[in-house]
A and B are shown apart, each in its own frame.
Chain A
Amino acid sequence: MELTTQIGESVTDGLAYLGALTTLGTRAAYFTFVAPFQGKPLRLQRAISQAMQTGVGALPILSLITFFIGLILALQSAYELRKFGAINFVASAVAISMTRELGPLITAIVVIGRSGSAFAAEIGTMKVTEEIDALETMAIDPIHFLVAPKFTAMIVMLPCLTIWANSMGILGGALFGVTQADFTWFRYIQASLDALFLRDITTGLVKSVMFGITITAVGCHEGLSTGAGAEQVGRSTTRAVVVSIFLVILVDLVFTALFFFMSER
């Protein structure tokens, strides 16, 4: 009895949380795509500076991580492939797993660490110092003012970062291919491109847009629901990271399954 009540409560809490995220995401999307045509202009300047922080700022660390991931993938797949004398398939293995899965996912995780947490901390601090209240008393919608620019920046920058991450991963694989197998740089890249279908890249990009929406919604929701006091900002930031990682993987699973069954036809 106790247990069923607890499970029931957790499920309703979880659904309420998802509901709150959906509401926030929908409103941010409204201010991004609809409101500009109704005379409420998008804050382009804020969106651009946000895109610089989220996107351009993430390039060095993202490049390094995805380069290593590509290299690791090459090593791991070569371990198995060389038993069959098929070491030349390393290129396609790396290219496909980067573009379909690891490129979008690793990008999302790096962005959660850099920007999802920053959204929660920034908005959470503004909540604690009554700046969110101040916006409301000035009849300025915090979602329009704060969330929508971040939303715009994320849905533009995450696919861009993902393309970059894919390329860096393939380069990482190429380092292995050139040094350990008899590839040249050019032939490795050629083999990678031959192995890829456009569909592999687009499914990854569709996922990355969904990840961007998820990260923005969770980061901003956690920030906006920060309680009173500085320690609450820390709590919100931690929750934003943990919940984002979980939800990104959940969204990943849903979309991967969707693409899998769609391609069966």
Chain B
Amino acid sequence: MGQSNSAATAMTDTESMISLRNLRVSYGEREILHGIGFDVMRGETLVILGGSGSGKSTLLRTLVGLERPSSGEIWLKGKNIAAISSGEMDEIRKKIGMSFQGGALFGSMTVGENVALPLREHTKLEDSTIEIILRLKLDQVGLSGYENYKPSQLSGGMKKRAAVARALAMDPEILFFDEPSAGLDPIIAAGVDQLILELKQAFHMTIIVVTHELASAFLIADRMVLIDKGNVVAIGTTEAMRSSTHPRVRQFLDRIAEPAVSEELDYLQMLTEEHRHPGR
């Protein structure tokens, strides 16, 4: 598909962290991803761009093992996670962190308990050690002193930071972000972008971000993938994307609206399609 040569030009390591090979994912009879293939290099920040319903969220869910692909391979840390047992997947999950769109913090627990949860579940560390790690992680995301707050007492941006702290708790090698700036005002969103950049610089972490916020994408990305209707349209460095002449890339980057539906019949067909396959 021509993405391997662009990967070599990336400024990061050339060792592949995640490899997708002809990945297909379906919900019931409807196929969402039609054969996705690309590599994510160690230490790079890859932004997955795409409009609503493009399949970018499904791709992310598949990468963290929440959806099972119908065919294809996902190589992650030398294992094809499309074909491993749930026990093996759990071992891999301890090495990845995921920050969900709304934070997905547990409302019945404090911020501190949320961040400490993976440590308490998967390690035999003493409470005092967990306490130290907890402080450290909260400090990293700029939430020192908030460990006794409930998630409901935090603002949207703080919830996202707390979610990042929880994702960082197990010192993951790969960090996934689902729409990190969704629902945040521009200043708070810029703060979250800044946090992602800091994590990348400080820990040389492999970071995969799904977003449709262009400004944020160009700021944090080493490379970008544009997904449209379940296919990879383009992949490359931010500069390569900016100068791309691919019509779909141009339409997305230049924010050009879809041509209006003029025919009555087309409109009806669009509605029935929506009705038949709602959501995602």
Contacts and interface: CB of A to CB of B under 8 A. Distances in A.
Contacts of B140: none
Contacts of B93: 136-139
Interface string B87-108: 0011101101010111011110
Interface in A122-158: 126, 129-131, 133-134, 136-140
B90 A129 contact: no
B104 A130 contact: yes
Given A129-B102, A133-B100, A138 B121 contact: yes
B66 A137 contact: yes
A83 B94 CA distance: 74
B121 A140 contact: yes
Contact of A131 (B91, B104, B118): B104
A215 to B, nearest CB: 21
Given A136-B65, A138-B93, A139-B90, A130 B117 contact: no
B118 A138 contact: yes
Nearest to B120: A140
A136 B66 contact: yes
A66 B171 CA distance: 55
Interface string A226-254: 00100000000000000000000000000
Interface in B46-65: 61, 64-65
B145 interface: no
A130 B98 CA distance: 11
Contacts of B94: 139
B101 A130 contact: yes
A140 B117 contact: yes
Interface in A207-234: 228
B96 A137 contact: yes
Interface in B74-97: 89-91, 93-94, 96
A133 B93 CA distance: 12
A134 B121 contact: no
Given A131-B106, A228-B279, A137 B101 contact: no
Which one of A126, A134, A228 has the highest number of Cβ atoms from chain B below 10 Å of its Cβ? A134
Interface in A88-115: none
Interface residues of B, number: 25
Contacts of B101: 130
A137 B65 contact: yes
Nearest to B98: A137
Contacts of A228: 279
B276 interface: no
Contacts of B65: 136-137
A129 B117 contact: no
A133 B117 contact: no
Contacts of B255: none
B277 interface: no
B64 A130 contact: no
Contacts of A138: 93, 117-118, 121, 166, 170
Contacts of B91: 139
B122 interface: yes
A134 B118 contact: no
A126 B151 CA distance: 13
A228 B61 CA distance: 15
A129 B65 CA distance: 18
Contacts of A136: 65-66, 93
B56 to A, nearest CB: 16
Interface in B212-248: none
A144 to B, nearest CB: 9
A229 B121 CA distance: 29
B168 to A, nearest CB: 12
Contacts of A139: 89-91, 93-94, 118, 121-122
A140 B119 CA distance: 11
Given A139-B90, A139-B94, A133 B104 contact: yes
Contacts of B90: 139
6 contacts: A134-B106, A137-B98, A138-B93, A138-B121, A139-B90, A140-B118
9 smallest beta-carbon distances between A and B, as pairs:
A134-B104, A139-B90, A139-B93, A130-B104, A137-B98, A130-B100, A138-B118, A131-B104, A137-B64
Interface of A: 126, 129-131, 133-134, 136-140, 228
Given A131-B105, A136-B66, 5 more contacts: A126-B106, A136-B93, A138-B118, A138-B170, A139-B94
